[in-house]
């Protein structure tokens, strides 16, 4: 992976790293990606397995299940009246 | 040694739990098994819960600074079911952050092995395995993505069951890799695990991927044949390989038919597993934005990007690495090359492995080495650490049930062996471990909570 691509990824990932951290991570990532080439040795002619076991499709009614303890959910956030406060967009 | 039923019959009083939790707190300062201990527990069979599984009103962080202070307003289904059947919650167990690790080191308080405190406990369910190893009467609710139950169970000398993917509800689990995560159990005896597994398994309206086991799963014929995958033994350290061969001889003496096979397809398992796991992890970690789950930054004058970036400073080094790699793997330009290819190979590996497992249990050492020293494990590069999962990844990648149990002690350290079954063969695996336990006495460094 070239350095420009690595910098682009950090930006996309919203991660900020110090110069030493960057250098180490870049080196580790190159080593790991190079190892991932192992998969080139195997044929990829099967259907992709999105799940490891074939599970039956299970659908449920599209209905509202009330959650009683709303205060407990909001206790994990900063709130104004009954609004959750978030950053500006 | 008492089983769960005998323990419940004896009905210990509040003094028992007070003594247990106080002793735990003392030992915890040396071993870092628990992220928090519930000193108000006063009844029930002691149950610990891995810190990525939600317990209502109890801080649940998955050992990540990103989730510091998060108190879920609900119980995970597995927790709800166990508490409903009289289990007593004693605390949240330590782990590698979000499950990212095989040694228990990716935590603010790295775990230590009860057999030798200079050595690692294994990961990522490090605390769950330590708790099972030090508490006589206890069951640990744990979770595995690529080996996080079997690995620490092996290093800490206890029994770990990783169920078939989808048999235990994942509702209330902090996701790592949705197509890989399985909630399972760690304990000292196969029969205790069987008791708890009966309670937690089965469909759940809150998890669309969770199903009931087919009828008759509890009463299948015992496993008679064990298949050794020779080519996976090549990278196993000599002392563990010698020990494994000795275990195979003992099992042969117990009447098991042993067959040697090779499965070259499995050699790409580590690469396939990490590609899928990182792709899924990087999407799962995107929800930690700094204002929804506990750790709130509070300074809302910043714009969203600045705010989000600051929130993500709290991720540990391994989490950051997986975010970057997973995001790259999912990029439009390389998605076909890595992610889809890995999913295709997963199907081939799954077909090969489950085909063999229908013929007999697949048997392997759980880990390729004895528990290393913390100082040694810290010296490994990330890739070298991933390679340690070589024996636990195949079953995890393909969602097959497996059990790890102690089969030997080398240099005073436990050695574990794993048996992999076909889907829904958990009871056959537990029966096999019980058969083993009749002739092999497990050792423990501590026995807290004796009756």
pLDDT in tens, B68-108: 999 999 999 999 999 999 999 999 999 999 999 999 999 99
Cross-chain residue pair B165–A48, CB shorter than 8 Å: no
B1 pLDDT above the threshold of 60: no
Nearest to B291 among A48, A75, A77 (CB): A77
Radius of gyration of chain A (CA): 23
Closest CA to B404 of B225, B185, B138, B126: B185
Cross-chain residue pair A88–B300, CB shorter than 8 Å: yes
pLDDT in tens, B403-441: 999 999 999 999 999 999 999 999 999 999 999 999 999
Q: Could you confirm whether B124 is annotated as catalytic? A: yes
Radius of gyration of chain B (CA): 21
Pairing label, strands B225-229, B45-50: unpaired
pLDDT of residue B2: 66
Q: What is the mean pLDDT of chain A?
A: 91
Name the A residues in 2-21 with CB < 8 Å from any B CB.
6, 9-10, 12-17, 21
The answer to whether residue A28 neighbours chain B at the CB level (below 8 Å) is yes
The answer to whether residue B380 neighbours chain A at the CB level (below 8 Å) is no
The Cα B324–Cα A71 span in angstroms is 35
The answer to whether residue A31 neighbours chain B at the CB level (below 8 Å) is yes
pLDDT in tens, A25-56: 999 999 999 999 999 999 888 999 999 998 88
Report ipTM for this prediction: 0.95
Contacts of B321 in chain A (CB under 8 A): 25, 28-29
Q: What is the 3-class SS of chain B, one letter each residue? A: CCCHHHHHHHCCCHHHHHHHHHHHHHHHHHHCCEEEECCCCCCCEEEEEECCECCCCCCCCCCCHHHCCCCCCCCCHHHHHHHHCCEEEEEEECCCHHHCCCCCCCCCCCCCECCECCECCCCCCHHHHHHHHHECCCEEEEEECCCCCHHHHHHHCCEEEECCCCCECCCCECCCCCCCCEEEEEECCHHHHHHHHHHHECCECCECCCCCCCCCHHHCCCCCEEEEEHHHHHHCCHHHHHHHHHHHHHHHHCCCEEEEECCHHHHHHHHHHHHHHHHHHHHHHHHCCCCCCCCCCCCCCCEHHHHHHHHHCCCCHHHHHHHHHHHHHCCCCCCHHHHHHHHHHHHHHHHHHHHHHHHCEEEEECCCCCCCEHHHHHHCCHHHHHHHHHHCHHHHHCCCCEEEEEEEEECCEEEEEEEECCCCCHHHHHHHHHHHHHHCCCCCCCCECCC
pLDDT in tens, B323-374: 999 999 999 999 999 999 999 999 999 999 999 999 999 999 999 999 999 9
Cross-chain residue pair A88–B302, CB shorter than 8 Å: yes
B291 pLDDT above the threshold of 90: no
Q: How many CB atoms lie within 10 A of CB B437?
A: 17
Q: What is the mean pLDDT of chain B?
A: 96
Q: Could you confirm whether B133 is annotated as catalytic? A: no
What backbone phi and psi angles, to 5 degrees, belong to B144? -130, 135
Q: Are B254 and B439 within 8 A, CB to CB?
A: yes
Contacts of A37 in chain B (CB under 8 A): 271
Percent of chain A with pLDDT over 90: 54
Name the B residues in 282-321 with CB < 8 Å from any A CB.
282, 289-294, 296, 298, 300-309, 312-313, 315, 317, 320-321
Contacts of B306 in chain A (CB under 8 A): 87
The Cα B338–Cα A53 span in angstroms is 21
pLDDT in tens, B215-260: 999 999 999 999 999 999 998 999 999 999 999 999 999 999 999 9
B379 pLDDT above the threshold of 90: yes
Distance set, CA B50 to CA A1, B23, B183, B364 (Å): 36, 19, 10, 26
Q: Mind telling me how many Å the CA of A36 is from chain B's nearest CA?
A: 5
Contacts of residue B405, defined as CB under 8 A and 6 or more positions apart, other chains included, come to B153, B159, B160, B190, B416, B417, B433, B436, B437
pLDDT in tens, B361-372: 999 999 999 999
When pLDDT is cut at 50, 70 and 90, the band that residue B300 belongs to is confident
| Catalytic pick among B124, B133, B243, B282 | B124
Q: How many CB pairs under 8 A join A and B?
A: 180
Looking at residues B169-193, what average pLDDT do you find?
97
* Secondary structure element (H or E) that encloses residue A43, with its range: none
Closest CA to B251 of B358, B405, B132: B405
The answer to whether residue B352 neighbours chain A at the CB level (below 8 Å) is no
Looking at residues B105-126, what average pLDDT do you find?
97
Nearest to B292 among A6, A50, A76 (CB): A76
A66 pLDDT above the threshold of 90: no
Q: Could you confirm whether B50 is annotated as catalytic? A: yes
Distance set, CA B449 to CA A88, B113, B127, B307, B390 (Å): 52, 19, 17, 46, 35
Q: Which residue of A has its CA nearest to B300?
A: A87
Percent of chain B with pLDDT over 90: 92
pLDDT of residue A51: 94
Q: How many CB atoms lie within 10 A of CB A55?
A: 14
When pLDDT is cut at 50, 70 and 90, the band that residue A68 belongs to is confident
The DSSP call for residue A18 is -
Q: Are B200 and B210 within 8 A, CB to CB?
A: no
Q: Are B104 and B94 within 8 A, CB to CB?
A: yes
């Amino acid at each position: 992976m070239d350095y420009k691509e690595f910098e682009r990824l950090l930006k996309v990932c919203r991660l900020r790293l110090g110069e030493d951290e960057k250098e180490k991570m870049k080196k580790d990532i190159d080593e790991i990606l190079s190892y991932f080439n192992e998969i080139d040795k195997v044929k990829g002619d099967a259907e992709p397995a999105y799940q490891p076991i074939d599970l039956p499709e299970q659908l449920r009614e599209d209905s509202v299940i009330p959650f009683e303890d709303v205060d407990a959910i909001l206790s994990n956030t900063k709130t104004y009246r009954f609004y959750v406060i978030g950053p500006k967009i | 040694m008492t089983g769960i039923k005998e323990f419940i019959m004896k009905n210990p009083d509040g003094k028992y739990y007070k003594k247990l939790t106080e002793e735990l707190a003392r030992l915890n300062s040396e071993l870092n098994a628990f992220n928090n201990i519930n000193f108000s527990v006063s009844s029930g069979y002691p149950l610990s819960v891995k810190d990525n599984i939600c317990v209502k009103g109890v801080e649940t962080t998955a050992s990540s600074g990103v989730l510091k202070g998060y108190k879920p307003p609900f119980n995970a289904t597995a927790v709800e079911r166990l508490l409903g059947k009289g289990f007593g919650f004693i605390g949240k167990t330590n782990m590698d952050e979000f499950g990212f690790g095989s040694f228990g080191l990716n935590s603010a308080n790295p775990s230590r092995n009860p057999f030798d405190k200079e050595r690692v406990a294994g990961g990522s369910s490090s605390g769950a395995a330590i708790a099972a190893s030090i508490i006589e009467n206890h069951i640990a609710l744990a979770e595995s993505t690529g080996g996080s139950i079997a690995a620490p169970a092996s290093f800490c000398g206890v029994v770990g069951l990783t169920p078939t993917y989808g048999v235990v509800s994942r509702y209330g689990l902090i996701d790592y890799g949705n197509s890989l995560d399985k909630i399972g159990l760690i304990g000292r005896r196969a029969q205790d695990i069987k008791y708890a597994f009966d309670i937690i398994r089965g469909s759940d309206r809150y998890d669309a991927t969770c199903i009931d086991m087919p009828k008759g799963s509890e009463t299948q014929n015992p496993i008679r044949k064990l298949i050794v995958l020779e080519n996976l033994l090549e990278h196993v350290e000599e002392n563990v390989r010698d020990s494994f061969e000795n275990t195979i001889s003992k099992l042969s003496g117990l009447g098991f038919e042993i067959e040697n096979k090779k499965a070259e397809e499995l050699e790409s398992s580590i690469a396939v597993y990490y590609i899928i796991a990182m792709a899924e992890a990087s999407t799962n970690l995107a929800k930690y934005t700094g204002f929804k789950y506990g750790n709130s930054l509070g300074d809302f004058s910043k714009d969203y990007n600045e705010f989000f970036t600051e929130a993500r400073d709290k991720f540990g080094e391994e989490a950051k690495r997986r975010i970057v790699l997973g995001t790259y793997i999912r990029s439009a330009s390389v998605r076909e090359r890595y992610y889809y290819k890995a999913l295709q190979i997963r199907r081939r590996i799954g077909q090969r492995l489950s085909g063999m497992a229908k013929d007999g249990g697949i048997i392997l050492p759980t880990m390729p080495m004895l528990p290393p020293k913390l100082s040694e494990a810290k010296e490994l590069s990330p890739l070298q650490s991933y390679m340690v999962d070589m024996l636990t990844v195949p079953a995890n990648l393909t969602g097959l049930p497996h059990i790890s149990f102690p089969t030997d002690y080398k240099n005073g350290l436990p050695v574990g062996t794993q048996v992999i079954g076909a889907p829904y063969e958990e009871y056959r695996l537990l029966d096999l471990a019980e058969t083993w336990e009749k002739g092999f006495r497990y050792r423990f460094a501590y026995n807290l909570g004796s009756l």
